[in-house]
């Protein structure tokens, strides 16, 4: 059982938007603005897509956006494209006793 809860799957058609949630607790997601999102294609290393809840690293399309409300963070992918089909993982800083927490991952399917 992962520390952060994500839906196992999500889907959308090309051009549509999809939102993936990541639920933690008041000790991790709710306590700090250090939520990250990673994209992982099969057989590849994870790629950082969002950090500090809303920030995008250089080179990440602005179709990817992050937000947080209370103990739940969200990743929204707008204008879905075929290459967005991948697994997405959230992570959060959890304090000194649980420094990094990951979600179980969400498989995004582009229909």
- Per-residue string for binding with another protein, 80-99, x by CB under 8 A? ---------x-xxx--xxxx
| DSSP secondary structure, the chain, as one string | --SBB--SEEEE-TT--EEEEEE--TTTTTT-S-EEEEEE-TTS--EEEEBTTTB--TT--TTEEEEEETTEEEEEE-S--GGG-EEEEEEEE--TTS-EEEB--EEEEE-
Site size toward another protein (CB under 8 A) is: 27
CB of 69 to another protein, least distance (A): 20
Confirm or reject binding of residue 109 to another protein (CB under 8 A): no
**In this chain, which of 12, 22, 24, 51 binds another protein, going by CB under 8 A?**
51
**In this chain, which of 38, 65, 71, 73 binds another protein, going by CB under 8 A?**
38
Classify strands 86-93 and 106-110 as parallel, antiparallel or unpaired.
antiparallel
CB of 13 to another protein, least distance (A): 26
Residues near another protein (CB under 8 A) are: 2, 32, 34, 36, 38, 40, 45-48, 51-52, 57, 89, 91-93, 96-105
């Amino acid at each position: 059982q992962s520390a952060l809860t994500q839906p196992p799957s999500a889907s959308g058609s090309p051009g549509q938007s999809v939102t993936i949630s990541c639920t933690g607790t008041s000790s991790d997601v709710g306590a700090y603005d250090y939520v990250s999102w990673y994209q992982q294609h099969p057989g590849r290393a994870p790629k950082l897509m969002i950090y500090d809840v809303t920030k995008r690293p250089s080179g990440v399309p602005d179709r990817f956006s992050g937000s947080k409300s209370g103990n739940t963070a969200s990743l929204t992918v707008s204008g879905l494209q075929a290459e967005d089909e991948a697994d997405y993982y959230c992570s959060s800083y959890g304090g000194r006793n649980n420094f990094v927490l990951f979600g179980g991952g969400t498989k995004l399917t582009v229909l």
